[in-house]
């Protein structure tokens, strides 16, 4: 990559005890399946420094699985985990950090009440990542099943005001589709917040990663393209 600091985070999405890839976040459209411990070991061996783990069951049900994160953190070492799914409070997030996660991603709970963002920032500091998951131009929560009616740029500005240091911005309609990232969305979120931004959704090639880096994004979360071999982690530096 042209930007030396740009980081690619392989994605491991968990459904039950399996690692899966969904198309557009639809639980009925599973594009790939794998064994999660084996997958994180493979990504770590390929040079990943940070692996993005999403507990899809947790996201739907609002419950964390700290034991599962602990198992994956041990399997991934020396790579670290960025964990998400089911976090509903700073206490939940702290449990995942104690289980071995390096960072935690919070979406639904961060927008649940006016003071929520400040509470998460106070408890987690720079180990907090706020998820801005976007369908159309509006933010979705609860495993992408509920439309908040909130504009992505407005939520990004709110994050900056609350002291959030990092955002994960996902274009839901592109997720798992290998159709390329939503560069316009990423630009709007960057411009609105001036925060560190991780991009997700549709990323399929080194050219996509270069375009994301050129916007000033900090990194990208990549799932299906790494699983199906169209993009190799060892080739993106």
Estimate to the nearest angstrom the gap between the alpha carbon of 130 and the chain centroid.
9
Active site residue 133: yes
CA 84/CA 80 separation, integer angstroms: 13
Which of 13, 57, 92, 208 does the annotation list as catalytic?
13
Which of 133, 175, 182, 208 does the annotation list as catalytic?
133
- Write down the residue that tokens 């001036």 correspond to: 194
Across 146-195, where does the E strand assignment appear?
Answer: 146-151, 166-171
Q: Which two tokens stand for residue 26?
A: 């639809």
**Residues facing residue 199 across a β-bridge:** 169, 220
Spatial neighbors of 102 by CB under 8 A, at least 6 apart, are: 50, 80, 81, 82, 127
Residue numbers annotated as active site: 13, 133
């Amino acid at each position: 990559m042209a930007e030396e600091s740009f980081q690619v985070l392989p994605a491991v999405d968990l459904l039950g005890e399996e690692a899966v890839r969904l198309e557009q976040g639809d639980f009925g459209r599973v594009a790939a399946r794998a064994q999660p411990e084996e997958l994180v070991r493979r990504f770590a061996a390929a040079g990943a420094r940070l692996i993005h783990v999403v507990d899809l069951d947790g996201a739907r049900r609002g419950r964390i699985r700290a034991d599962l994160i602990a198992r994956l953190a041990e399997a991934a070492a020396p790579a670290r985990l960025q964990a998400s799914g089911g976090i509903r409070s700073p206490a939940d997030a702290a449990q995942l950090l104690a289980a071995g996660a390096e960072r935690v991603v919070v979406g639904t709970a961060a927008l649940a009440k006016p003071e929520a963002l400040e509470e998460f920032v106070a408890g987690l500091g720079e180990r907090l990542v706020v998820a801005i998951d976007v369908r159309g131009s509006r933010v979705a929560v609860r495993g992408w099943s509920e439309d908040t009616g909130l504009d992505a740029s407005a939520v990004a500005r709110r994050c900056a005001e609350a002291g959030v240091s990092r955002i994960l911005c996902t274009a839901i309609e592109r997720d798992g589709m290998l159709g390329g990232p939503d560069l316009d969305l990423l630009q709007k979120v960057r411009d609105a917040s001036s925060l560190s931004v991780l991009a997700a959704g549709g990323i399929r090639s080194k050219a996509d990663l270069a375009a994301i880096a050129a916007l000033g994004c900090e990194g990208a979360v990549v799932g299906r393209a790494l699983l199906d071999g169209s993009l190799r982690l060892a080739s993106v530096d």
